[in-house]
């Protein structure tokens, strides 16, 4: 995903420029919508962090535990939980698409509903980086899905769907 993201950044940036222009013309804030080279680099680093974690011990490591903090008489272990389908409903922050990809490492899938102002950027990331990465990994296109709807009712529909394990 990170490699595709970096290779296709020019087209993704162009889609984002269109989203920003459209949002500004409607008097909307673009603070979280605008992507930059820094955002790109942070997205790629986050994606590579998940890959490195898997490389350390494979998916089995993630299912056992992410980390353990030992004390003299007790310890705390961070574990993953295969929940199934997780819904992410978020405003126009395109970087969340990369953040949400981490659910794959713990055996989950995700459906993502981004704010309407960022839908063009999200579609570009999906088509140019996310879907090719899923295919490269031998995963189905639907392992991560972006809801292509601007209307807020799409987010409410996800929150009210009892088939979803979690909605955030």
Structure confidence by residue, pLDDT tens digits, 129-151:
999 999 999 999 999 999 999 88
Nearest Cα residue to 110 out of 133, 85, 139, 80: 85
Nearest Cα residue to 64 out of 98, 105, 110: 105
What pLDDT is recorded for position 80? 66
Nearest-10 crossing angle of helices 9-25, 37-64: 110
What pLDDT is recorded for position 61? 47
What pLDDT is recorded for position 62? 46
Structure confidence by residue, pLDDT tens digits, 93-114:
999 989 888 888 878 899 999 9
What pLDDT is recorded for position 130? 95
Structure confidence by residue, pLDDT tens digits, 7-19:
999 999 999 999 9
Structure confidence by residue, pLDDT tens digits, 50-93:
888 766 655 554 445 567 888 899 988 876 667 888 899 988 89
74: CB partners within 8 A, 6+ apart: none
Distance, C-alpha 159 to centroid of its chain: 17
What pLDDT is recorded for position 28? 94
Does residue 127 surpass a pLDDT of 50?
yes
Mean per-residue pLDDT over the chain, rounded: 88
| Three-state DSSP class for residue 95 | coil
């Amino acid at each position: 995903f990170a490699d595709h993201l970096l290779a296709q950044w020019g087209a993704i940036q162009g889609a984002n420029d269109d989203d920003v222009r459209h949002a500004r013309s409607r008097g909307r804030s673009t603070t979280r919508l605008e992507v930059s080279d820094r955002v790109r680099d942070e997205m790629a680093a986050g994606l590579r962090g998940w890959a490195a974690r898997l490389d350390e011990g494979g998916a089995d490591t993630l299912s056992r535990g992410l980390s353990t903090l030992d004390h003299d008489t007790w310890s705390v272990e961070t574990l993953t939980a295969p929940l199934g389908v997780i819904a992410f409903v978020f405003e126009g922050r395109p970087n969340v698409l990369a953040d949400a990809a981490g659910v794959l490492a713990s055996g989950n899938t995700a459906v993502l509903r981004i704010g309407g102002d960022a839908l063009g950027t999200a579609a570009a990331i999906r088509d140019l980086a996310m879907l090719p990465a899923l295919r490269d990994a031998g995963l189905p296109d639907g392992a991560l899905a972006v809801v292509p709807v601007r209307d807020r009712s799409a987010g409410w529909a996800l929150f009210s769907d009892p088939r979803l394990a979690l909605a955030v």
